[in-house]
Amino acid sequence: MAMQSRLYRLKSWLTLEDAASHLSTLLSEKVGVSDLLQLALEGQLIISVNLIGGVKVKKGEITGWLGTPVTLAPKGSGNLLSLAKEAPPPDTVADDARKISGKTLKEALEYSERLSEGIKKGDFVVCPLGDAVSDDEFVSFKGEVMNVEGIWDLPLISAERIDVEEMYQESVGGPEVDLISLNGPWLKAEEGFLYCIQERFSKQHIKEVYGEEGLHYSEYNNPNHYYPAGRLPDNCSIVVRRCNLDAFIASLEGPEQSTGQPAEGEVIRALEAFGLLVELYASQHGPDYRHGERPKASRIVEDMLAAVPDDVTNMGDRKLKDHVGAAIKAWEAKKRL
């Protein structure tokens, strides 16, 4: 059974099992965890991870093509100029291309007229020094290392996708997932920022590279001592935020409901039904509940507030009278048709 509405509204997130049960009841068809995982992989449902023990992350900076650091390779060569063993002849366009390695594409286009022309003509292959977020956006994870915990959305475009794909295949008896990602698992904050989960190099590696000073406690969060993790941590669980589940449910209700607001026709029908109930109630309680031929809204509202306090309905006397009055008018109009 789906959880009771009041309890559901109190929760900010649900386990995959609870989310599947809730959908099963709402849709009147069986929904399993594998269905949720498939919907997530297809981009129809946003799922999240509960980082129970906390993890180390680096924050990402998302940039468009012009703001992304790049390196260049001559067309057809396949060799990055920044990695070439021999520097190109000085004061040439190839020399310009080597010198701008690591600068943004905007800076490269402004470096010299001949380089700008070469890039625009396609004489150089532009290689972004960042991980792709979309066709025209890239992210670079740099800066300080920080600790995060709690619920984070999964963008499912990096190593975290492999974890979810593996869970899905296991749930349906599919093949073993044998994939790796060097970009690390990513997290997405509510504000839209991306973070990459990090792991710390071994003490032996840090000592070999940075010496004894690298092992000092003050150097523990040195960003150079960390690299992108291979997978999501073991002490975490995949969950669904209630707001994301609600958004998915709303997407199933058709274009009239996509905004989360009821269609005008449905509001009128609801008022007509409410008005019918009001008239039936008035007809069973004598003349004091009627004003001429119509139900008396003020008297009926008195009974409503006596039965249920306004701190439960979150509506006072005036608001309830407005709703009851609107229902009476809608039902009267319906009867005249």
| Percent of residues, the chain, with pLDDT higher than 90 | 55
pLDDT at 308: 78
Band (pLDDT 50/70/90 cuts) for residue 256 is very low
Is the predicted pLDDT of residue 309 greater than 70, yes or no? Answer: no
CB-based contact 228:182 (threshold 8 Å): yes
Torsion angle of the four alpha carbons 211, 213, 217, 220, in this order, in degrees rounded to the nearest 10: -50
**Per-residue model confidence as pLDDT tens digits over 103-142:** 999 999 999 999 999 999 999 999 999 999 988 899 999 8
Band (pLDDT 50/70/90 cuts) for residue 334 is confident
CB-based contact 49:239 (threshold 8 Å): yes
Average pLDDT over residues 220-236: 94
Question: Per mean pLDDT, which of 59-63, 85-89, 306-310 is the most reliable?
Answer: 59-63
Band (pLDDT 50/70/90 cuts) for residue 261 is low
> Between 223 and 190, whose confidence is greater?
223
Which range (54-63, 100-109, 148-157, 300-309) has the least confidence? Answer: 300-309
pLDDT at 50: 98
CB-based contact 34:174 (threshold 8 Å): no
Sole residue written with tokens 């906390």: 54
Is the predicted pLDDT of residue 224 greater than 70, yes or no? Answer: yes
**Per-residue model confidence as pLDDT tens digits over 173-184:** 999 999 999 999
Band (pLDDT 50/70/90 cuts) for residue 56 is very high
**Per-residue model confidence as pLDDT tens digits over 270-284:** 888 998 998 999 888
Report the run of H or E that residue 140 belongs to, with start and end: strand 137-153
Buried b (16+ CB within 10 A) or exposed e, 265-295: eeeeeebbebbbebbeebeeeeeebbeeebb
Encode 94-136 in three state secondary structure. Answer: HHHHHHCCCCEHHHHHHHCHHHHHHHHHCCEEEEECCEEEECC
Residues 6+ positions from 51 with CB-CB distance below 8 Å: 148, 149, 150, 151, 152, 233, 236
Band (pLDDT 50/70/90 cuts) for residue 310 is low
> Between 253 and 61, whose confidence is greater?
61
| Percent of residues, the chain, with pLDDT higher than 70 | 89
pLDDT at 240: 98
Q: Which residue ranges make up each domain of the chain?
A: 5-61+136-251, 69-129, 264-336
Among 81, 88, 120, which Cα is nearest to 102's? 81
